[in-house]
């Protein structure tokens, strides 16, 4: 079995190895062989070139490119790619590695839009080291093969990666340090396999064709949106820039539809830098963001629901983390049912499910969790209604709920809100130009992975109706 070097493992599991460009005393030097890499583009179109930037203890590296769709499909294998060892710069996590290109790939015109995984191998036999990187191929002609666009949560992948230094989190950093800038020019920890791929496998195995993009394509290539009827957000779509949000909200106002099969969605505002190759977010330390002292807080890189930003994510998704929280994670509702209670079974979303009011669905695959979004609720004659005081649109209808709760201390992240708020994951939708559906949970796609018949039918209802 191939062994992966200490440094690569650290990158995969969120452990910081280098501080100030110097190996700490409690870490061993990286064992040889090793290989790391990243692509110069998050996404591209057929005909464009992608360069792979590699560092290895070996003189050559083998690579295999696979499209991860209904199954893994190998599209390219290249052996003996010349490579060399390159230093990890002092600020690799915030400003990138700056390694030279080791391999140039002009994306063939017959490559289908999708997520492309590049496996790297250095050395041979049982002592070989492995690494990986990814890039996304957009459609050459947007909307030509599908009216459904899946934009992948690539900003979140970057935010949680602390390879080469730090991430946007302190809790999984051995030094307890939290970065405020993260670069795409370094090996990244993709979350695609846990959240988006289950939906992709289900969709492509059931006759749905999807086209793909990165988060940043909503910012830098908004012109593609007009070619689609339905945009999907799946899993953990946590970090959004203002242009991303502006463009998607205009898409909705113009009659486009969005399905957020995701949770903790659009929670933090980020600002793109270096032409989209880096993200800045000061998060809970918003008063250290240089914009804080300008008096114009619209682009303050903190919570979208913060009172200084005045743009809660509810206005886009219908729900938000402020009235959601955790379920079966972070110590909250660890014995919870992780399923939705049905409140309005006659709605078209539930067509063909035979659900009745008060029924639950999704428990087998814990579709409610890890992080959840909700809205402020008032109950009338046994049914939940949004109060709309939190930014939830007037036309929002609550179809399902499951209890969720902040972890102790979360109130410190939200200025002017009480401690230990209890809320719900909320399944619902609204129409304002186009229709927006939200699952209010990161783990909806796990029900598709587990072949839950109700989750299957609801997802079909959404895709069929909103992509027409």
pLDDT tens by residue, 202-258: 999 999 999 999 999 999 999 999 999 999 999 999 999 999 999 999 999 999 999
**Per-residue pLDDT averaged across 117-129, rounded?**
93
Q: Which residue has the tokens 């009172």?
A: 307
**Per-residue pLDDT averaged across 152-178, rounded?**
89
Task: With cut-offs at 50, 70 and 90, classify the pLDDT of residue 53.
Answer: very high
Selection from 13, 20, 284 nearest residue 165 by Cα: 20
* Alpha-carbon gap, residue 141 to 109, rounded angstroms: 11
Q: What is the tally of helices (H) and strands (E) in the chain?
A: 9, 27
* Alpha-carbon gap, residue 390 to 214, rounded angstroms: 29
Claim to verify: residue 240 and residue 321 sit in the same structural domain: yes
What pLDDT, on the 0 to 100 scale, is given for residue 105? 97
Q: Strand, coil or helix: what is 333? A: coil
**Per-residue pLDDT averaged across 324-330, rounded?**
95
**Residue 404 is part of a domain; what is its CATH number?**
3.40.50.880
Task: With cut-offs at 50, 70 and 90, classify the pLDDT of residue 86.
Answer: very high
What pLDDT, on the 0 to 100 scale, is given for residue 16? 33
Claim to verify: residue 235 and residue 382 sit in the same structural domain: yes
Claim to verify: residue 205 and residue 64 sit in the same structural domain: no
First to last CA, the chain: 48
Domain membership flag for residue 142 = no
Domain membership flag for residue 415 = yes
* Alpha-carbon gap, residue 118 to 55, rounded angstroms: 14
For 366-376, the pLDDT digits (tens) are 999 999 999 99
Selection from 148, 128, 122 nearest residue 54 by Cα: 122
Angle between the N-to-C axes of helices 196-205 and 453-466, in degrees from 0 to 180, rounded to the nearest 10: 80
Q: Between these two residues, 173 and 12, which has the higher pLDDT value?
A: 173
Task: With cut-offs at 50, 70 and 90, classify the pLDDT of residue 412.
Answer: low
Token reading at 436? 């927006």
Task: With cut-offs at 50, 70 and 90, classify the pLDDT of residue 414.
Answer: low
Q: Between these two residues, 206 and 410, which has the higher pLDDT value?
A: 206
Domain membership flag for residue 126 = yes
% residues pLDDT > 70 (the chain): 91
Claim to verify: residue 314 and residue 221 sit in the same structural domain: yes
Claim to verify: residue 201 and residue 350 sit in the same structural domain: yes
Q: Between these two residues, 195 and 28, which has the higher pLDDT value?
A: 195
Q: Any bridge partners for residue 261, and if so which?
A: 234
Domain membership flag for residue 9 = no
What pLDDT, on the 0 to 100 scale, is given for residue 176? 75
Domain membership flag for residue 311 = yes
What pLDDT, on the 0 to 100 scale, is given for residue 303? 95
* Alpha-carbon gap, residue 301 to 234, rounded angstroms: 23
Residues, the chain: 468
Q: Is the pLDDT of residue 96 over 80?
A: yes
Task: With cut-offs at 50, 70 and 90, classify the pLDDT of residue 15.
Answer: very low
Exposure of 110 in the CB half-sphere (CA atoms within 13 A) = 2
Reduced DSSP (H G I as helix, E B as strand, rest coil) percent helix, strand, coil of the chain, to 5: 20, 35, 45
Q: Is the pLDDT of residue 413 over 80?
A: no
How far lies 435's CA from each of 59, 238, 389, 466, in Å? 54, 21, 21, 8
What pLDDT, on the 0 to 100 scale, is given for residue 422? 86
Claim to verify: residue 124 and residue 197 sit in the same structural domain: no
Kindly report the average pLDDT of the chain as a whole number.
92
* Residues sharing a CB contact under 8 Å with residue 266, sequence separation 6 or more, in sequence order: 237, 238, 240, 245, 304, 313, 316, 317, 320
Domain membership flag for residue 294 = no
Q: Is the pLDDT of residue 27 over 60?
A: no
**Residue at a domain's end among 137, 165, 182:** 137
Claim to verify: residue 82 and residue 221 sit in the same structural domain: no
* Alpha-carbon gap, residue 351 to 83, rounded angstroms: 56
What pLDDT, on the 0 to 100 scale, is given for residue 30? 64
Claim to verify: residue 243 and residue 343 sit in the same structural domain: yes
**Per-residue pLDDT averaged across 375-397, rounded?**
97
What pLDDT, on the 0 to 100 scale, is given for residue 416? 61
Selection from 33, 177, 212 nearest residue 93 by Cα: 177
- DSSP character at residue 108: P
> Where are the extended beta strands (E) located within 29-113?
35-39, 43-44, 49-56, 60-68, 72-82, 101-106
Task: Please state which of the ranges 4-13, 47-56, 106-115, 377-386 shows the lowest mean pLDDT.
Answer: 4-13
Claim to verify: residue 357 and residue 257 sit in the same structural domain: yes
Claim to verify: residue 129 and residue 216 sit in the same structural domain: no
Does residue 214 contact residue 241 with C-beta atoms inside 8 Å? Answer: no
Stated pTM of the model? 0.92
* Residues sharing a CB contact under 8 Å with residue 169, sequence separation 6 or more, in sequence order: 159, 160, 162, 178
Q: Is the pLDDT of residue 451 over 90?
A: yes
Claim to verify: residue 232 and residue 128 sit in the same structural domain: no
Burial of 253 (0-12, 13-18, 19+ CB in 10 A): exposed
Claim to verify: residue 42 and residue 104 sit in the same structural domain: yes
* Residues sharing a CB contact under 8 Å with residue 188, sequence separation 6 or more, in sequence order: 38, 133, 134, 157, 158, 161, 163
| Residue numbers of the domain that contains 108 | 35-137
How far lies 60's CA from each of 14, 134, 197, 331, 429, in Å? 27, 19, 31, 46, 52
How far lies 168's CA from each of 15, 184, 216, 329, in Å? 13, 13, 18, 20
- DSSP character at residue 289: S
What pLDDT, on the 0 to 100 scale, is given for residue 170? 85
Burial of 81 (0-12, 13-18, 19+ CB in 10 A): middle
**Residue 81 is part of a domain; what is its CATH number?**
2.60.40.1930
How far lies 329's CA from each of 127, 139, 153, 167, 368, in Å? 37, 37, 20, 21, 10
Q: Which residue has the tokens 């933090």?
A: 268
Domain membership flag for residue 288 = no
Can the peptide bond before residue 33 be classed as cis, meaning omega within 30 degrees of 0? yes
Domain membership flag for residue 421 = yes
Structurally, how many domains does the chain consist of?
Answer: 2
* Residues sharing a CB contact under 8 Å with residue 63, sequence separation 6 or more, in sequence order: 52, 76, 77, 78, 81, 103, 118, 119, 120, 121
């Amino acid at each position: 079995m191939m062994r992966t070097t200490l440094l690569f493992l650290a990158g995969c599991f969120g452990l910081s190895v280098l501080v100030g460009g110097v190996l700490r005393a409690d870490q061993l030097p990286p064992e040889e062989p090793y290989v790391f890499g990243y692509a110069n583009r998050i996404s591209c179109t057929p005909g464009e070139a992608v360069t792979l930037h590699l560092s290895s203890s070996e003189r050559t590296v083998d690579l295999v490119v696979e499209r991860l769709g209904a199954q893994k499909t190998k599209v390219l294998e290249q052996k003996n790619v010349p490579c060399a060892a390159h230093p990890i710069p002092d600020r690799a996590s915030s400003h990138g590695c700056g390694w030279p290109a080791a391999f140039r790939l002009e994306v063939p015109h017959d490559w289908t839009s999708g997520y492309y995984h590049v496996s790297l191998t250095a050395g041979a036999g049982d002592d070989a080291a492995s690494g990986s990187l990814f890039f996304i191929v957009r459609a050459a002609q947007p909307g030509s093969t599908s009216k459904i666009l899946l934009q992948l949560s690539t900003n979140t992948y970057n935010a949680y990666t602390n390879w080469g230094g730090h991430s946007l989190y302190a809790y999984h950093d051995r030094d307890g340090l939290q970065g405020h800038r993260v670069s795409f020019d370094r090996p990244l920890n993709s979350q695609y396999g846990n959240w988006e791929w289950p939906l992709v496998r289900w969709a492509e195995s059931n006759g749905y064709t999807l086209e793909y993009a990165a988060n940043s394509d909503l910012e830098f290539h908004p012109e593609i949106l007009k070619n689609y009827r339905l945009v999907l957000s799946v899993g953990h779509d946590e970090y959004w820039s203002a242009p991303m949000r502006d463009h998607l909200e205009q898409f909705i106002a113009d009659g486009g539809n969005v399905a957020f099969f995701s949770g903790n969605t659009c929670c933090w505002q980020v600002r793109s830098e270096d032409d989209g190759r880096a993200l800045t977010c000061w998060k809970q330390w918003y008063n250290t963001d240089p914009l804080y002292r300008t008096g114009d807080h619209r682009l303050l890189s903190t919570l979208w629901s913060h009172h200084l930003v005045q743009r809660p994510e509810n206005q886009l998704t219908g729900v938000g983390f402020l009235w959601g929280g955790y379920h079966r994670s972070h110590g909250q509702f660890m014995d919870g049912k992780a399923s939705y209670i049905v409140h309005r079974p006659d709605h078209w979303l539930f067509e063909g499910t035979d659900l009745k009011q008060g029924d639950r669905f999704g428990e087998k695959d814990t579709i409610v969790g890890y992080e959840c979004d909700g809205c402020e609720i008032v109950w009338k004659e046994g049914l939940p209604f949004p109060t709309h005081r939190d930014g939830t649109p007037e036309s929002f209808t609550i179809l399902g709920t499951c209890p969720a709760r902040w972890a102790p201390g979360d109130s410190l992240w939200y200025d002017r809100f009480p401690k230990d708020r209890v809320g719900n994951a909320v399944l619902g939708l609204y129409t304002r130009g186009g229709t927006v559906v939200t699952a209010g949970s990161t783990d909806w796609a796990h029900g598709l992975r587990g072949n839950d018949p109700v989750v299957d039918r609801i997802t079909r209802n959404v895709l069929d109706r909103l992509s027409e």
